[in-house]
Structure 1
């Protein structure tokens, strides 16, 4: 049997000390997450970050650095996910764009507001990625070499 992890991307987008997040339905509950999603066949990681953020928030962003790579094993299914988290700057907002199915809305929250709502985080990676970003984790996009 060949083991195949799922690859996802996520974006930390900051504007005036607030961070772009999505409220989405997951397993029957409304949760908070960074704009994030699965890498599609033939797509670069950077393009996936741009696409997922636009589809989920209506914001066009430009990835600037890699915050980190995060491995997570889903406790209920034993599925392994590798998350590539980027920092990205907001470029343009398209408020009339229809958001992805399951996305209720995009919100801008401070770190404290996000911490205060920990019970609503989709996974523990929501806070971990943000805290790594705030601690200065920034790796050049060239780390991904043709990604």
Structure 2
């Protein structure tokens, strides 16, 4: 089985009861909301990654205000034809809190997301979104000292 590790950094930006999210197509092409952020480039510090990714995906400059925690999980799956190999994907996602420091909201052009928007925190459960959004909002609300939710498993 092929193994693939992806390390990424994301930010929870909340203001006036709303959270900033970006929209990305799922594997089947259906749009779903994600936390703004993304993969680290080789040699890049995660702090710089989250600031770069937020600018690319939302148009905002952010000030990182804290480290909320780490989300780690893996899952094997096969892609493509019947002859393709199964890949064990391991995702390590560093979650920060951040505040908007400048810029203007805009959508990403030619990137992994197609829209950025503020959403009421109460409306998030009804939005089509990935698991990381729920995990990150729990980290933001609960602020566990160890940076990991007690009932979250890899």
**TM-score bracket for this pair, using the shorter chain length:** 0.7 to 0.9
Q: For residues 142 and 114 of structure 2, what CA distance do their matches in structure 1 show?
A: 30
Q: Assess if the C-alpha contact under 8 Å between 2:54 and 2:61 holds in 1.
A: yes
The reply to whether residue 121 of structure 1 matches residue 129 of structure 2 is: yes
Q: Give 3-state SS (helix, strand or coil) of 1:49's partner.
A: helix
Decide which structure has greater helix share. 1
1:62 corresponds to: 63
The answer for the alignment partner of 1:79 in structure 2 is: 89
Q: Distance between the aligned counterparts of 2:59 and 2:75, measured in 1?
A: 28
Question: What is the root-mean-square deviation in Å for CA atoms of aligned residues?
Answer: 2.4
TM-score (norm 1): 0.82
Alpha-carbon distance in structure 2 between the residues aligned to 1:17 and 1:138: 24
The aligned counterpart of 1:108 is 118
Report the equivalent of 2:138. Answer: 131
For residues 129 and 31 of structure 1, do their structure 2 counterparts lie closer, same or farther at Cα, with a shift above 3 Å needed?
Answer: same
Tell me how far apart the structure 1 counterparts of residues 71 and 133 of structure 2 sit (CA, whole Å): 11
Say whether the 8 Å CA contact 1:57–1:99 is kept in structure 2.
no
Contact 1:10 1:85 in 2 (8 A): yes
TM-score, scaled relative to structure 2: 0.78
- C-alpha spacing 1:135/1:95, structure 2 compared with 1 (3 Å): closer
1:32 is aligned to 2:33: yes
**Are the structure 2 counterparts of residues 65 and 101 from structure 1 closer, same or farther at C-alpha, using a change threshold of 3 Å?**
same
Bigger Rg, which one: 2
- Contact 1:56 1:100 (C-alpha < 8 Å) held by counterparts: no
Q: 2:51 is paired with a residue of what secondary structure?
A: helix
**Structure 2: segments with no counterpart, 5+ residues:** 78-86, 147-154
The structure-2 alpha-carbon separation of the partners of 1:137 and 1:90, relative to structure 1 and needing over 3 Å to count, comes to: farther
Relative distance call for 1:80 and 1:108 in structure 2 (3 A) is same
CA–CA separation in structure 2 for the residues paired with 1:91 and 1:8: 22
Aligned residues: 137
Where does structure 1 lack aligned partners over 5 or more consecutive residues?
140-147
